Amino acid sequence: MSSDADDTGVPAPQVQNLLEKVDIDESVAAYFPPGSRVESALPHGASFWTRTARINLLLENGSPKSLFLKVAQGVDGLGLVIGEYEAAKSLYAIAPYLLPRPVGAGTYKSDPETHFYLSDYVEMIDEVPDMQKFCASLAKLHRDSIPFSPKGQFGFHVVTYNGNKARDVTWCDTWEEMFTNSVKMRVKQERDAQGPSAELEKLLPALFEKVIPRLLRPLHTGQNKIRPVLVHGDVWYGNLATNASTDEPIVFDPATIWAHNELDVANMTVPRFRLGRAWTREYHKHFPISSPAEDYEDRLRLYTIHGGLCASSLYTNTTKYRQMLIDWIQELVDKYPVGYQEG
């Protein structure tokens, strides 16, 4: 994959080298079905932050089975694979039609610095899935997850990642508090990656003290209070595909949390993610816009600021994402100078 920006303006980070030689560690083999044997293990696909392979097994009954292996290094690598496994496991429990079955995750016995995530291998068509099918499936995931929200709180039980950036998953009673914590972590990551920005720092107090309370507090104080749903957490064309066997949508690389469902919708409005407003309209045929509906567009803008901070911290060879998020924050700060007012 080229390191240049693609036609959406997304600069590709350095792709990890493919696994030139795929050795099957004991810890990985422990997840294979009893009596199976390895037919082949080959590098497969490309990943921005990990190395990947396809493992072809022959089961005890003579049937073939393939698994997908993802390998990462170091402390962050361990967090990444554990986060993905727990996220995928939670999603699969509610929406097994939407992603490959997670099999396991852990650390190589032969190398304590090497960590892995293992799932079923699914042959995919590498293109954006059918809009109607995907939006219906995403809304169904959100809707069906509501009864399973732990204690009705927002957050997640392990740290999950957007790219290689951890997100704050601390359990909170309100979405406002959880989102605020998450944005504060993203601000620190962005500052560490890009260096300080006086222009951005000047806007942050108003963002945290005025804009976020104004747009998110009504979600908990109105007649139709939101309830946490399980979100994918990183909906964009790079994490979506079509199952080649079923022609149904499939997702991967989740950054799952219990959140406001519109967090998954917001990315659809960002041009570089190759989806668009037709996708948001299709989604809301299956899951209504939260109340107050008049704040909907600005809530989506607020959620894209979170993603913009993450993008700026990931793509350190450009300042375009920093300038974009500064413009977005300024727009909301100018619109909501007073903040939240009761009544």
Residue limits of CATH 3.90.1200.10 in the chain: 131-335
Q: Compute the distance between CA of residue 26 and CA of residue 28 in angstroms, rounded to an integer.
A: 5
Name the CATH code of domain 131-335 (choices 3.20.20.140, 3.40.1260.10, 3.90.1200.10, 3.40.640.10).
3.90.1200.10
Domain with CATH 3.30.200.20 in the chain: 26-121
State the DSSP code for 198. H
Sign of the alpha-carbon torsion through 183, 187, 193, 197: positive
Share of the chain above pLDDT 70, in %: 92
pLDDT at 6 over 80: no
Cα–Cα distance, 284 to 300 (Å, whole number): 13
CA distance 338 to 343: 14
Q: Phi/psi at 114 (nearest 5 deg)?
A: -110, 130
User: Would you say residue 160 has pLDDT above 50?
Assistant: yes
Burial grade of 23 (CB within 10 A; 0-12, 13-18, 19 or more): exposed
Amino acid found at 226: I
**Angle at CA of residue 162, ends 92 and 263, nearest 5°:** 70
For the beta carbon of residue 97, count every other beta carbon within 10 angstroms: 14
Nearest-CA neighbor of 238 among 67, 6, 80, 41? 6
How many CB atoms within 10 Å of residue 297? 11
Tens-digit pLDDT profile for residues 89-132: 999 999 999 999 999 999 999 999 999 999 999 999 988 999 99
* Residue 143 confidence (pLDDT) above 50: yes
pLDDT band of 151, cuts 50, 70, 90: confident
Evaluated on CA atoms 178, 308, 47, 189, the torsion sign reads negative
Integer Cα distance of 261 and 240 in angstroms: 18
User: Residue range 139-147: average pLDDT?
Assistant: 98
For residue 292, say if its preceding peptide bond is cis, omega within 30 degrees of 0: yes
Statement: residue 34 has pLDDT above 50: yes
Q: Which two tokens stand for residue 282?
A: 């299709």
At residue 8, does pLDDT exceed 60? no
pTM over 0.75: yes
User: Is 3's pLDDT higher than 90?
Assistant: no
Round the average pLDDT of the chain to a whole number and report it: 92
Task: In whole angstroms, give the CA distance from residue 278 to residue 293.
Answer: 18
Eight-class DSSP state of 227? -
b (16+ CB within 10 A) / e for 215-234? bbbbbeeeeeebebbbbbbb
Task: Could you please state the CATH topology (level 3) that the domain comprising 26-121 is classified under.
Answer: Phosphorylase Kinase; domain 1 (3.30.200)
